[in-house]
Structure 1
Amino acid sequence: MNGATGKIVRPGVLIALTALAVSGCASPFKTAAIDPTSPVAEATRVAAGQKGRRPTFAEIPAVPTDVRGPARIKAVIEGEQRAAAKLRRDAAPETFKLKDTEAYAAQARASAKAPDFAAPTEADRAETEAFAAAARGRASAPSSQPK
């Protein structure tokens, strides 16, 4: 007889916990307090008081037919994995060797222009001063008006 008590108590506890959970879920749907200082307080109050139309089961859209099935998804994933494996094989370090690098380096050195490290001349200094004077002439103080 004691074994039958558990069969009765378990569904009762399950029903009680379900009722408690449902009552806890219902509380967020109560109308919340509206901040009277909000610029949209009146519109919010009006919207909260209106009852909306509830959808019917007939309005549930049909099941889409253009969705890939599990077999198609699996095939696409396997294709992507094959392509990734081929790319790893094709780009592996042992698939190519650098050769004739000295000729390339010599050509790059020949075409590169060495920087001029000469000290600036009087003409260079005059050109710099002229540029700075022109920049100072174009400059204006920022506005003192707040934005």
Structure 2
Amino acid sequence: MNDETGKTVRLGVLFCGAALGLAACASPFTPPPADPSSPVAAAANAAAKGSGHAKKPSFSDIPAIPTDVRTPVQFKKAVGAEKAAADQLKRDTAPSTWTLSETDAYAAKARSVAKVPASDIPTDADRAETEAFAKAARARATAPPSKPQ
């Protein structure tokens, strides 16, 4: 007997949930307005207002079948031509099919264009100047203040 009451309550809860769900779906949805500072705010708001009255497509709206599409036979021929071109390229660039020549002229031109930086090995005067700069920097440096205790 108590089992029947539980079934009835569960069935009532299920129907109420379904009714609330349908009521939520049936309520009109209004999207929020677009940001007024946006350059497309007016167009977005107009599109949002008219979204409920959009024209539904029909079968006459389906575009015609394109006529400039290759047939499967034409695709097969094109793929065969690409494979033949790839095989030819592999044969042409295989090892031992080409050699470098006249590399001396190229190397000479590259050497003439390249600028070798001067070799600046520090002298004793340079080292002394660096040490004097470091000593002056250490003299100017101050320790950070200690934390109050």
Shorter-chain TM-score bucket reads 0.3 to 0.5
For the pair shown, the structure with the greater C-alpha radius of gyration is 2
TM-score by length of structure 1 reads 0.42
TM-score by length of structure 2 reads 0.42
